[in-house]
Structure 1
Amino acid sequence: MAEDLVLDTAIRDWVLIPLTVVMILIGILRYFVSKLMQSQPTPDAKVVKEGQVVVRARNLRAGANFIPAKSFRARRAYFSNEENGLLHVPKGQGQNPQAQMFSDPNMAMDMMKKNLSMIIPQTLTFAWVNFFFSGFVAAKIPFPLTQRFRSMLQNGIDLSTVDVSYVSSRSWYFLNLFGLRGLFSLILGEENAMDDTQRMMQMGGFGFDPTKSDCYCVQRIALVY
């Protein structure tokens, strides 16, 4: 049978609240450090030109019903012709995001800076939590949980008789580490530097690929015109 515990208020005042406040302050500090370490990219003329082509193709798709059919087909061929169309990418000539990433020293340096700004604070914070707060039962979840959550919520406590809803200080650190993303979005805005992995996925490998752009469907929409 699981054992109920009475948590000391001193644990709340000297473990739970300080740990949460420190995690929030470290996250905000890491955001501003990442902004300072981020280098200003030099605009590439080729990328700017491709972006302008995308804008023009998007405007063509949006105004397809407001121009004559002959004019639309001529503009469609200008963008999607298989020989010399602006949006056509021959097979084997698509951009390789990994090759572009490693060929650009500035991009590789920015990635290394971001990794250092993420790994170093997390390592120091975990060492601080593990040294000063190891073994504390810091909080209790206000709803019952199954035994599968024990390893996630009671990291550092080897007591199988304690109810699963109790959270150790080390587990509270990991819960704050992965659960403060929404709070950082409210404080720092949606375009904050805390979620580097998601930003990298949205960028699609740091390269522009016309075949993956929504404007490339000008061909498909034009076929049903």
Structure 2
Amino acid sequence: MAEDLVLDTAIRDWVLIPLTVVMILIGILRYFVSKLMQSQPTPDAKVVKEGQVVVRARNLRAGANFIPAKSFRARRAYFSNEENGLLHVPKGQGQNPQAQMFSDPNMAMDMMKKNLSMIIPQTLTFAWVNFFFSGFVAAKIPFPLTQRFRSMLQNGIDLSTVDVSYVSSRSWYFLNLFGLRGLFSLILGEENAMDDTQRMMQMGGFGFDPTKVQT
């Protein structure tokens, strides 16, 4: 049978609150360090030109009903003609967006800086938590949970008799690590550098692929 514990208020004052405050401060510091380390990219004339062509093609598609059909077909052929259309890319000449991204040394360096700014603070913070706060029961969730949540909430505590609702200090660190994105968006704005998962998911869509544009 699971045991109910009475948590000392000193744990709240010296474990729970300091962990939360330190995680928030490190996240804000990471954001500004990432901004300082980020280099200003030089616009590529070819990329800018391709982007303008895409904008013109989208405007043509949006205004197709407002111009004569003959004019629309002529403009569509100008963009998508298989011989000399602006949006037509011959087979074998299209570059993978990911390969294009890694071919830019400045972009690769920015990615390395962002990864370092993510890995180093997390490693040091976890080592600090593991050294000073390992084994502490830091808080209790005010609603019942099933046994499958035990490994997630009681990392570092090897007692099956403790109720699942109790959270260890090490698990509190991970909950803050993945649960403070909303707070960072509120403090730093929507366009902040804290959501590393979203940034990695967007890597596959970075760049311009004219073969996917439809007119």
Structure 1, gaps ≥5 residues long: 213-222
Q: Are residue 140 (structure 1) and residue 140 (structure 2) matched?
A: yes
TM-score, structure 2 normalization:
0.95
Equivalent residues, number: 215
How far does residue 189 in structure 1 lie from its aligned partner after superposition? 0.8
Structure 2, gaps ≥5 residues long: none
How far does residue 91 in structure 1 lie from its aligned partner after superposition? 2.2
Q: Aligned with 1:29: secondary structure?
A: helix
Q: Are residue 166 (structure 1) and residue 171 (structure 2) matched?
A: no
Separation of aligned partners in 2, 1:162 and 1:224: 59
Cα RMSD of the aligned pairs, angstroms, is 2.0
How far does residue 224 in structure 1 lie from its aligned partner after superposition? 13
Moved more, 88-97 or 179-188: 88-97
Query: What does residue 38 of structure 2 align with?
Result: 38
How far does residue 142 in structure 1 lie from its aligned partner after superposition? 1.1
CA contact (8 A) 2:98 2:204 kept: no
CA contact (8 A) 1:200 1:206 kept: no
How far does residue 29 in structure 1 lie from its aligned partner after superposition? 0.3
Q: Aligned with 2:88: secondary structure?
A: coil
How far does residue 200 in structure 1 lie from its aligned partner after superposition? 4.3
Deviations 1:50-86 (A, max 9, x none): 1101111111111111101100111111111122211
How far does residue 199 in structure 1 lie from its aligned partner after superposition? 2.8
Q: Are residue 224 (structure 1) and residue 214 (structure 2) matched?
A: yes
TM-score, structure 1 normalization:
0.90
User: CA, structure 1 residues 101+18, in 2 after alignment: closer, same or farther (shift >3 Å)?
Assistant: same
User: CA, structure 1 residues 200+163, in 2 after alignment: closer, same or farther (shift >3 Å)?
Assistant: closer
User: CA, structure 1 residues 203+46, in 2 after alignment: closer, same or farther (shift >3 Å)?
Assistant: farther
How far does residue 144 in structure 1 lie from its aligned partner after superposition? 1.0
The percentage of aligned residue pairs carrying the same residue is: 99
Separation of aligned partners in 1, 2:174 and 2:4: 23
How far does residue 211 in structure 1 lie from its aligned partner after superposition? 2.6
Dislocated runs of 4+, deviation >6 Å: none
CA contact (8 A) 1:101 1:108 kept: yes
User: CA, structure 1 residues 34+169, in 2 after alignment: closer, same or farther (shift >3 Å)?
Assistant: same
